[in-house]
Structures are given as structure tokens and as C-alpha cells.
Chain A
Amino acid sequence: MNEFLFIIGALITLGGGILAVIARNLFHAALGLAAALAGIACLFVPIGGELIAVVQVLVYLGAVAVSIVFILMLSPPFYLKRAHRNALKLSGAVGVTLIVAVPLFAAVLSVKSHGGSSDFVPTIDQLGRALLTEFVFPFEIISVLLTVAIIGAIVIARDLPEDDHIMSAAEVAEKEVKA
């Protein structure tokens, strides 16, 4: 059962990941990303990450992937303008990828493999306790970060028309002097 889940998850993840970077239409790339995220959730199940798999589907697939699709739908259809492939840029990207690939594969293949011998699956209770005792500081930082990100996103993305410009005290005083 675990092997079946791994193989299915690996195939979906690799297919989705390759589609996400190869597709010329960005909408297809977003769908490839969604497939890859679902495949990764599938991969987490055989290694004792049932809860993380659920969180992955809820947050990544339900929020991040959907918000990427949303921006493609809400914005002018720039994803339909297919960028022509630039041979120089393409070969540069392949070169950089290969340069990164060599040390990564060397490192991965030098790791001693341990066959999945443990059946330990952490319960929600254990994860919650760890989150609120040992990791409470990073947990709070993430909470603050998310709040700041929401406020920052609203501030950056809001579109103030010119006549809605909120005058500062100095500008108000200057206007009164002119009047």
C-alpha cells in the first residue's frame, strides 16, 4: 500500500512539476503546480505525515494554488501572450540547472539509505504539544508574519485614485494659506 502511494505520488509530482515549468500557457503551468502539490501530499502519507498531507492540501492546494489561478483570471490575459523561446536564455537555464544538479545528486547519492523500518506516526496531540512548547517562538513569529503579509498585500495592491488622495496636515495648511 505504501509503495503504491509512493509510486502514484511520485508520478503525479514529477508530471506536474515538469508541466509547471515547461508549459507555455501560464494557466497550464498553474494547473501543473496544483497537480505537483497534490502528488506531494500523497508522498507524505507513507512517511508518517498524514496531518501534514492534510495541511498541504488545505493550505497549498486550497489557498496558494487557487490564488495563483485567481491572479491569472483577474488580471489582463497576459498568460495568453506566449513568450517566444529564446535559445540563448534556454541554454543558459539548462546550463545553470546542470551545474546545480551535479553537487545535489552527489550529495543525495552519498546519503546512506535506511529502509523504512519505523512505523512511527506522530499524532495531532504530539504535533500540537511540540508546536506550543518547544517551537512556540517560531510559531508566534509565523503568526506575526502572516498578519504583516496580509496588511502589506492590501497596502501594495490597493488602487488609490488620484482624487482620493489623503492630504497630510502640511498639505491642508498650505491649501488654507492659498485660500
Chain B
Amino acid sequence: MTSLTSYLVLSVILFLCGVFGLMERRNLVGILISIELMLNAASINFMAFNHFLFPGTVTGQIMTLFVIGLAAAEATLFLAIVFAVYRHYRSVNVERVDHLRG
């Protein structure tokens, strides 16, 4: 049951949840939640490949630590941007925040 394929299938399903949310949500916070799901799918892949294909090394686990650190920095900035956008537009709907539309 705990094989490489089962981990990879799980991570693909999680990634597809993220893709679906990214396309369908119109709220900035909803988009952030979808991005977090996709990042987590990537870290599952790193962990699974490290364990099943390269036992005895720690590279994949270190990469997962970096992904977690990047996600923390990204979430901080994203939430600050959400506050700034809300103050400016009184909305966090990405279809109303279209000042840069060409």
C-alpha cells in the first residue's frame, strides 16, 4: 500500500484540487489556499522520491524544508497584499481588481 505510486497518485490528486481552485476561485484568499495545496503536493513528491528511489540520502527532505520556508514567506506577503488590495478597492474579488488591465 505504501508504495511510490500510491504517494504520487495522492499528490497528483491534491495538485489537481489546487489547479481547480486556482481557476475557479475569484477571491484572493481562496486562491492562496489553492496555491498552498499545490505546494504541498510538490513536497509530498519530494519526500516520496527521496524515500523510495534514493534511500540513505536527505536531499528530498531538505527540499521539503525549503518549500515550507518559501510557503511561509509567500503566505505572509500574500496576506499583506490582500489587506492592501482590500483597502484600495474595497473588494478582494480578482475580477474587480483590474486596474492593470491593458
Min C-beta distance of A79 to chain B, whole Å: 7
- In the assembled complex, the Cα of A61 lies from the Cα of B12 at a distance in Å of 21
Given contacts A36-B40, A48-B51, A142-B69, contact A150 B29 (CB under 8 A): no
**B residues within 8 A CB of A43?**
7, 10, 44, 47
**A residues within 8 A CB of B93?**
83
**A residues within 8 A CB of B81?**
156
- Across the interface, do B29 and A26 meet the contact criterion of CB distance under 8 Å? yes
- In the assembled complex, the Cα of A94 lies from the Cα of B58 at a distance in Å of 37
Would you call A173 an interface residue if the criterion is a C-beta within 8 Å of the partner chain's C-beta atoms? no
- In the assembled complex, the Cα of A14 lies from the Cα of B66 at a distance in Å of 24
Contact of B65 among A17, A26, A89, A131 (CB under 8 A): A131
- In the assembled complex, the Cα of A87 lies from the Cα of B80 at a distance in Å of 31
- In the assembled complex, the Cα of A90 lies from the Cα of B26 at a distance in Å of 11
Give the size category of B's interface with A.
35 or more
- Across the interface, do A2 and B2 meet the contact criterion of CB distance under 8 Å? yes
Residues of B within 8 A of A (CB): 1-10, 12-21, 23-27, 29-30, 32-34, 36-37, 40, 43-44, 47-48, 50-53, 55-56, 58-59, 61-62, 64-66, 68-77, 79-84, 86-87, 91-93
- Since A20-B33, A97-B23, A130-B62 are in contact, a sample of 14 more A-B pairs with Cβ atoms closer than 8 Å, ordered by chain A residue number, is A6-B6, A20-B21, A20-B34, A30-B29, A37-B40, A47-B50, A47-B52, A71-B79, A112-B4, A113-B5, A117-B55, A152-B80, A153-B77, A159-B87
Residues of A within 8 A of B (CB): 2-3, 6-7, 10, 13-14, 17-18, 20-21, 26, 29-30, 32-33, 36-37, 40, 43-44, 46-49, 51-52, 55-56, 59-60, 63-64, 67-68, 71-72, 75-76, 78-79, 83, 89-90, 92-94, 96-97, 100-101, 104-105, 108-109, 111-118, 120, 122, 126-127, 130-131, 135, 138, 142, 145-146, 148-150, 152-154, 156-157, 159
